[in-house]
Amino acid sequence: MGRPPAGDEMNRLLAAVAVLISGSFAVAAERPNVLFIAIDDLNDWIGCLGGHPQAKTPNIDRLAARGTLFTNAHCQSPLCNPSRTSVLTGLRPSTTGVYALAPWFRTAKGFETTETLFQFFHRHGYTTLTTGKVFHDAYPPKLDRADGKEVEVWGHHGGWTARPKTKFVKTPDANPLVDWGVYPDKDEDQDDWKIADWAIEQLRKPPTGPWFLAVGFRHPHVPCYASQKWFDLYPEDKLVLPPVKDDDRDDLPRFASYLHWSLPEPRLKWLQENEQWKPLVRAYLASISFVDAQVGRVLDALKATGLEKNTVVVLWSDHGWHLGEKGITGKNTLWERSTRVPLIVAGPGVTAAQKCHRPAELLDLYPTLAELAGLPRKDGLEGHSLVAQLRNANAERKRPAITTHNQNNHAVRTEGWRYIRYADESEELYDLDRDPNEWTNLAKEPKHAGTIRELREWLPKLNVKAVPRSAGRLLEYVDGTAYWEGKPIRPDEPFR
């Protein structure tokens, strides 16, 4: 054994250790909090993205002004459960096999113990809290609300409880959620108001040490209900409808229709025939402005409590929503209207008032937040950190955004192109610079063969089958036959 340190030498050594220890505590104390705001079914109809010229979202817009807005961000799946599973696990739907509304990803073999974004932050010293719809649907199935295995603190669940006794609109499908109109009289009766209330309460009495608070709002998901004052922002006689083209589907492969073959959301044709297109668009916009106000209430509380300076704020939506484009309403497609989502990051380590036009994926949130928080790199994630773009919006990013809907159906989105390849190998290609509405499918034009070859290289190599007990918007393609919810689609069966 070596000679023990002499007195002066020992003192210097102890002093050095003290500096290291105090430094580590300082780093821990300076770790930013995370406010994680999820919005259900919100497309790019927000002021700062310009998806609709009349959209009024002052609170989301001011968050964008305080941070970085990704103008070319896309979901991993145009459906709630697989999209949220991807965000929370950092894995693609084609890796987990979670493609449909059910089941919960913990039932998938090999993913029973996957460490979610919540669990990762908790393991590194964060208190985790959630309210509203962050998981699908809000709480994982069969979870005791006091159980901290997924999240430590479970807040107000929320739902679609503020509903009239009967639907306002008699849609072709009797689904009670597919409805729109002025309801209720007071914002305070909406669950999203109560979700904001619970989040505000946590911000006023925050946990000791760093925290990760997820707030999941349900609007503008159907039913599109809002009080009269939000409808008043969008007078029906001045309402701008989204651009549509009557023969838009004529150059599409038949398989494109299979992804949204039989849905409760009405088609554009029905809306037009029943004079419901304007009312639905108006209700969707009103619902957006209502949820924007709830976002504003939470952001105001963050600032009032003095927590804003050391809190990373992330705002995102799980997928987009059609309001007549391509002849449909709802999601469940691989086109821009269904995949493009708001994505805003603000706070420490983020450059303010910048717009990034590089492709981004919701899958990138896991590694991005880990890096912003100064946490160790998490192995096995399929997303890539956006920190370089958060510091400089023009930083290079060669990777496209990839969206998947059911097995072997993918869209690849670069800065200028959208390429879609379906399970039957049919394809679509759009030049977004010249054709932002995706009205002209270029896939069969020989001059674009090279572009298709390049984009095809980005398609996921792993495409696992749907996990057992999958249900809800499930499309399967087996031996040349497409199956919707387990029933074969006849080759001559018309798109409904």
Active site residues: 80, 136
| Residues forming beta bridges with residue 224, ordered by sequence position | 180
Give the residue among 172, 200, 252 at the shortest CA–CA distance from 443: 252
The span from the CA of 238 to the CA of 263, in Å, is 30
| Residues forming beta bridges with residue 431, ordered by sequence position | 417
Angstrom distances, CA of residue 215 to CA of 36, 77, 92, 155, 159? 6, 20, 23, 9, 13
Name the one residue in this structure whose structure tokens are 């009557």.
246
| Paired sense of beta strands 311-317 and 427-431, if any | unpaired
Give the burial class of 167: count Cβ atoms within 10 A of its Cβ; 0-12 exposed, 13-18 middle, 19 or more buried. middle
Rama region for 379: left / alpha / beta (φ>0; ψ in -120 to 50; rest): beta
Query: In degrees to the nearest 10, what's the CA dihedral of 222, 225, 231, 237?
Result: 50
Around 194, how many Cα atoms within 13 Å sit in the side-chain half-sphere?
14
The span from the CA of 428 to the CA of 254, in Å, is 11
